[in-house]
Amino acid sequence: MNDLNTELRDLRLGERLRILRERAGLSQRALAKRANVTNATISLVEADKTNPSVGALRRILDGIPVSLSEFFAFEPEPEQVIFYQAEDLPEIGKGKLSLKRVGNSQFGRAMTILHERYEPGADTGRVMYQHEGEEGGVVVSGRIEVTVGEERRILGPGDGYYFDSRKPHRFRQVGGEPCVIVSACTPPTF
Amino acid sequence: MNDLNTELRDLRLGERLRILRERAGLSQRALAKRANVTNATISLVEADKTNPSVGALRRILDGIPVSLSEFFAFEPEPEQVIFYQAEDLPEIGKGKLSLKRVGNSQFGRAMTILHERYEPGADTGRVMYQHEGEEGGVVVSGRIEVTVGEERRILGPGDGYYFDSRKPHRFRQVGGEPCVIVSACTPPTF
DNA sequence: GCAGAGTGTTAACGATCATGAACGACCTAA
DNA sequence: TTAGGTCGTTCATGATCGTTAACACTCTGC
């Protein structure tokens, strides 16, 4: 019916699913295999030619994986393209802690990405920074002690962290080797 | 059969719907009338004896009224995990491209951080992915060709990028050495 | 006791979905 | 060029959903 079509278009299930699937780098068939449905199902859903059951949609999303709540909460945003050469990145910090920011600190940016280098002895200080947003990162080399709220851990290469920036937090380099981290925080407070 | 039943119980649609409906002070028939479905449908959904279509569920929820995102918002709560050890990070990709995600892909996350490794020959493909949000990152080691829209650059260690994810983009490893990147994207589509 | 109107449940059937198997288009390698 | 692989799409069919129409039960008022 026409009713069905308008309802399907209204939900925009297909558009969203396609975006998520492609972002995950999965073909319809690959996702279908993970999700225990057939590729035809995914094709039809993405084309808004069927109104899937909640269970089927969930199985599909599990394969990506995305939760139903994530799936039904959507949002938009704009910006421009830029590449940055290492030597062009603005250096913010001084001394034992150097920060290189990827991209400018512009309005409308959803986040800021930093390339951080902690020389031996570097410490963001006992003043525990707090600010709106969330932040996370991955340790590339060296070791660092991270304190968030009451929790404290020492992270090494390949380890990661993610927390609400409103929790007080502190980073302190440990060991003899400089520690390099790539991090992101949102919103861009720098 | 039994599979269906476990899936239905797993979703707990019925329980949630009943709670919401009763909170709104509506009988099954009263809600059915508002929602343009029949009382039988609501009865079966609440009893977990059917797996409603997304459209049907939406009509029902509209009658309460509750949005789909609200309805699914009280899904399994994200644990407040902050630190991640390298070996604990879930590996998403396969073959030449491996992705490790820092943290879970849970509702409410502002972004997702990935530790990406491109083996020689790795390529996200000529299908240029597009999705909502923004993304950026820093190359840790190796070299990679990044194409965003009409622009193309080869990035090496320390170089960075940042762009609107709605522009079509592609990553392709170049050179003999594997390429490692730490990236972040928002919103978390993984 | 007995209508009458409310509640939620259930069976049978037509409408719709999910499947399996095709299809053409597009690559890549031989 | 051909063969083999991928990709997304389409169609017929069995499986399942949503509806219609009944059902049993609980009230309330007469």
Q: Is residue B171 part of a domain?
A: yes
Q: Is residue B78 part of a domain?
A: no
- What is the rounded distance in angstroms from the CA atom of residue A188 to the CA atom of residue A135? 10
Domain that holds residue A23: 2-71
Under the banding of pLDDT at 50, 70 and 90, the label for residue B125 is low
- Whether the predicted pLDDT of B90 surpasses 50: no
Q: Which of A83, A135, A146 should one mutate to test binding to chain B, selecting the residue with the greatest count of B CBs within 10 A?
A: A83
- What is the rounded distance in angstroms from the CA atom of residue A113 to the CA atom of residue B163? 12
- What is the rounded distance in angstroms from the CA atom of residue B45 to the CA atom of residue B15? 9
A5 touches strand C (CB under 7 A): no
Percent of chain A at pLDDT above 70?
A: 63
CA B82 to chain centre: 20
B24 touches strand C (CB under 7 A): no
Q: Which residue has the higher pLDDT, B136 or B92?
A: B136
Indicate which CATH number applies to the domain containing A37. Answer: 1.10.260.40
Pair B135, B113 in one domain = yes
Identity of the residue in A76, A133, A153 whose CB atom sits nearest the CB atom of B83: A153
pLDDT on residue B59: 87
Q: Is residue B153 part of a domain?
A: yes
Q: Is residue B98 part of a domain?
A: yes
pLDDT on residue A24: 67
pLDDT on residue A106: 38
Pair B97, B156 in one domain = yes
Mean pLDDT of all residues in chain A?
72
Q: Are B54 and A54 in contact (CB under 8 A)?
A: yes
The protein side of the strand D contact, defined by CB less than 7 Å from any of its atoms, consists of A 27-30, 39-40, 43-44, 46-47, 49, 53, 55; B 1, 4, 36-41, 44-45, 50-53, 55-56
Per the listing, tokens 């080869």 go with B154
Amino acid at B128: M
pLDDT on residue B72: 81
A contacts of B127 (beta carbons < 8 Å): 22
Q: Is residue B114 part of a domain?
A: yes
Residue range B137-161: average pLDDT? 82
Q: Is B176 helix (H, G, I), strand (E, B) or coil?
A: coil
- What is the rounded distance in angstroms from the CA atom of residue B35 to the CA atom of residue B62? 6
Under the banding of pLDDT at 50, 70 and 90, the label for residue A25 is low
B contacts of A11 (beta carbons < 8 Å): 54-55, 58
Q: Which residue has the higher pLDDT, A1 or A157?
A: A157
B69 CA: distance to closest CA in chain A (Å): 5
Q: Are A161 and A146 in contact (CB under 8 A)?
A: yes
Of the candidates B73, B98, B130, which is a domain's last residue? B73
Residue range A86-97: average pLDDT? 49
pLDDT on residue B97: 64
Q: Which of A23, A29, A164 should one mutate to test binding to chain B, selecting the residue with the greatest count of B CBs within 10 A?
A: A23
Q: Is residue A39 part of a domain?
A: yes
Pair A60, A126 in one domain = no
Per the listing, tokens 């278009």 go with A9
Q: Which of A168-177, B27-36, B180-189 has the lowest mean pLDDT?
A: B180-189
Cα angle vertex B33, ends B29, B34, to 5°? 120
- Whether the predicted pLDDT of B89 surpasses 50: no
Mean pLDDT of all residues in chain B?
72
Pair B60, B91 in one domain = no
- Whether the predicted pLDDT of B47 surpasses 80: yes
CA of B135 to C1' of D6 (A): 28
Indicate which CATH number applies to the domain containing A131. Answer: 2.60.120.10
pLDDT on residue A40: 92
pLDDT on residue A42: 92
Q: Are B97 and B124 in contact (CB under 8 A)?
A: yes
Residue range B162-190: average pLDDT? 74
Q: Is residue B105 part of a domain?
A: yes
pLDDT tens figures, A65-75: 777 877 887 53
A contacts of B8 (beta carbons < 8 Å): 55
Of the candidates B30, B50, B73, which is a domain's last residue? B73
Q: Most confidently modeled of A40-54, A143-157, A167-181, B167-181?
A: A40-54
